[in-house]
Structure 1
């Protein structure tokens, strides 16, 4: 497929200016002014993050007045964010951190196709070649103009853009489904138990330590990364494994040897893991017997509660810790603070009923996540096929 430089298929590649350099300030209303933070990661405009300039300022910034179908591309800060200008945000302008790429009508180029090309791995690699040891890459307009992209005929461009757009829409739908299932768990908790902080239903309240075994993981040997401790058959859970699990930890990256196990402790499957370092107060249930270091706390419920109820209760952690723990503790959670947290204790039958509902919802979430992974793989494969 023919490849062309971006400068060959565009009529304008330019950027804006900060109004303050011309003696202007931002207003409460007026012409929309687009900044990098106004562009979402999915290529949408976050209009609540627009700023506003006067008509006079807009006239002075004539070079960067935006037109419908202009492609915006961030060239500083959050590099590589893109969006296509639509009628609903006009009139609008932008600053020097965003390149304005205006497709040439004479060259018969499809803005959406160019936008997808700018998100491709091939273009990303071209950026990296410009980096040359600089900590934070800022691209010049020449860098943008020199980018090479494939350039089929207009009909093929439109078809490729339509195919990729469909994949993006399907991904967005699935991600929305996942968010709705997450919200369903929280709303079900509220319906059954009320606000866990306000406790308007007047449930019995007990300390977390009264509801089960609360203990830090164990890693006695120093240094902790001694090769003799690692590489055996005993799963070793780290804070990242907990943070990335969402509900049940099904994977692990590290293992202990028999020596590693001897200086640690193995917890049973179903234990609720709570991180107290790096990723504070992230929680997940272990899907297998495993060890973990003292940066993770393990909780095993007694007959008064169950681990799934406590897992969801921890989903309200920010509100809970703000209401119950000292301000100084919020970024440094320890075993004492966790043990002393007040937990509502509804009847165990009601908690068990809730746990069954959560389990079913999590099963649905697992199916949706699998669909998202498959769709993402399909999208990545199509991007590679069309642009690499």
Structure 2
């Protein structure tokens, strides 16, 4: 049967107690969920980066999220979903779906229903943008089948997701292999215990610079056209194609000073994703970047793949974060700070040897670890059982 979410759940938003009161945050008392926590977790959420004190809970009036409750992000990054394994709290970008127990529902069924649902389908994107609200969510209808059928669906999807998790582990191991090879060949790029020559990044690049958001913001984005790279697309050693934006040629002309070229290194310079870096994939060209992403174009002295792996080395990431967190109002790295970064300069032949190793590992990753077919199967299965027909 189809039911509205408000008929089967109490929808509960979280809160963020005052950041100025350090007593609220200097604690490990009560777990407090953010979107970042949901991004890192799998089906169940066990840990959170931040905690609230007892006084924070009392003074703010924030409500507890009981164990075995489905939580989902509904602002900015919509659809990040998990199930609480114990009583927790959350910020205001996360909705908790507290079961009213009017019909039999298992949390895992709701987890899969929410996680793979297209929350923008059939909506007015111009109005909704990247934010849902409690009223909108409350009126959404979902398909609830018998408890036996729910268990059957969850069992099948658990098996599929187990295969996905196994592949993710293999990918992580391959990434660790690249990191280990970098350290073996070049050492710590911050302390430079191997004594390589060093130069400022501005001296070994032909371009360093960020772009801008076209006039009109997201309302100016198109389904096709010139690619506009945003910080959400740049991950460490990986370009994320999800939610890739496009702009018109007329808008792109206004950003000609930040035209992307093949083998450019991208570095996020503001916000929560600051310091993430990857090499631009050639298949998205032509492209531009917005103000949150910095283009780094190497000259003949340095190999782009080597520079990228240096920037995402754990030691160098800590350095970049220390620079970013020293910003006055938010995490940010300025153009001048990027230009002044000290970069080790091993012989170009050694850099190329390392880049060849990275390409071989990446070939293994993408030849054998593609998730697309599995996600297609999941979405087809969910569409069949959750989003079509009546039972």
TM-score, normalised to structure 2's length?
0.61
Correspondence for 1:162: 155
Q: Post-superposition shift, 1:358?
A: 1.0
Q: Separation in 1 of the partners of 2:160 and 2:167?
A: 11
Q: Separation in 2 of the partners of 1:152 and 1:249?
A: 35
Q: Separation in 2 of the partners of 1:73 and 1:324?
A: 33
Correspondence for 2:220: none
Correspondence for 1:112: 108
SS where residue 40 of structure 1 aligns? helix
Q: Post-superposition shift, 1:355?
A: 1.5
Correspondence for 1:299: 297
Pick the structure with greater CA Rg: 1
Correspondence for 1:353: 353
- Contact 1:4/1:150 (CA < 8 Å) preserved in 2? yes
More displaced 10-residue stretch of structure 1: 170-179 or 289-298: 289-298
Correspondence for 2:145: 152
Q: Structure 2 vs 1, CA of residues 154 and 185 (structure 1 numbering), >3 Å: closer, same or farther?
A: same
Q: Post-superposition shift, 1:160?
A: 0.9
SS where residue 202 of structure 1 aligns? coil
Correspondence for 1:203: 196
Q: Post-superposition shift, 1:344?
A: 1.3
Q: Post-superposition shift, 1:273?
A: 3.7
Q: Separation in 2 of the partners of 1:299 and 1:214?
A: 6
Unaligned runs of 5+ in 1: 225-234
> Which of residues 185, 188, 191 is equivalent to 2:181?
188
- Contact 2:33/2:88 (CA < 8 Å) preserved in 1? no
Q: Post-superposition shift, 1:164?
A: 1.9
Correspondence for 2:218: none
* CA deviation profile, 1:314-372 (whole Å, cap 9, x unmatched): 324544557899966983543x6555433212233432321121111222332366x22
Tell me if 1:314 matches 2:311.
yes
SS where residue 297 of structure 2 aligns? strand
Q: Separation in 1 of the partners of 2:38 and 2:115?
A: 14
Q: Structure 2 vs 1, CA of residues 327 and 287 (structure 1 numbering), >3 Å: closer, same or farther?
A: same
Alignment of 1:206-225 (within 5 A): 206-208=199-201, 211=204, 213-215=205-207
SS where residue 196 of structure 1 aligns? coil
Q: Post-superposition shift, 1:161?
A: 1.3
Alignment of 1:1-388 (within 5 A): 2-4=1-3, 13=10, 35-37=32-34, 40-41=38-39, 42-48=42-48, 49=50, 51=52, 66=66, 70-73=68-71, 83-84=82-83, 86=85, 89=86, 92=87, 98-101=96-99, 103=101, 109-119=105-115, 121=117, 138-139=133-134, 148-208=141-201, 211=204, 213-215=205-207, 238-240=228-230, 243-244=233-234, 246=237, 269=262, 271-274=263-266, 282-285=277-280, 287=282, 297=295, 299-302=297-300, 304-316=301-313, 318-321=317-320, 331=332, 333-334=334-335, 338-367=338-367, 371-388=370-387
- Contact 2:265/2:297 (CA < 8 Å) preserved in 1? yes
Q: Post-superposition shift, 1:180?
A: 3.2
Q: Post-superposition shift, 1:287?
A: 3.2
SS where residue 47 of structure 1 aligns? coil
- Contact 2:78/2:119 (CA < 8 Å) preserved in 1? no
- Contact 2:264/2:304 (CA < 8 Å) preserved in 1? yes
Q: Post-superposition shift, 1:267?
A: 8.5
Q: Post-superposition shift, 1:375?
A: 1.8
Counting matched residue pairs gives: 340
Q: Separation in 2 of the partners of 1:373 and 1:157?
A: 25
User: CA RMSD for the aligned pairs?
Assistant: 5.7
- Contact 2:259/2:286 (CA < 8 Å) preserved in 1? yes
Q: Structure 2 vs 1, CA of residues 180 and 216 (structure 1 numbering), >3 Å: closer, same or farther?
A: same
* CA deviation profile, 1:201-236 (whole Å, cap 9, x unmatched): 11222344554x5235899xxx99xxxxxxxxxx97
Q: Post-superposition shift, 1:65?
A: 8.9
- Contact 1:64/1:94 (CA < 8 Å) preserved in 2? yes
* CA deviation profile, 1:149-192 (whole Å, cap 9, x unmatched): 33333332211111122233333333333333333322221122
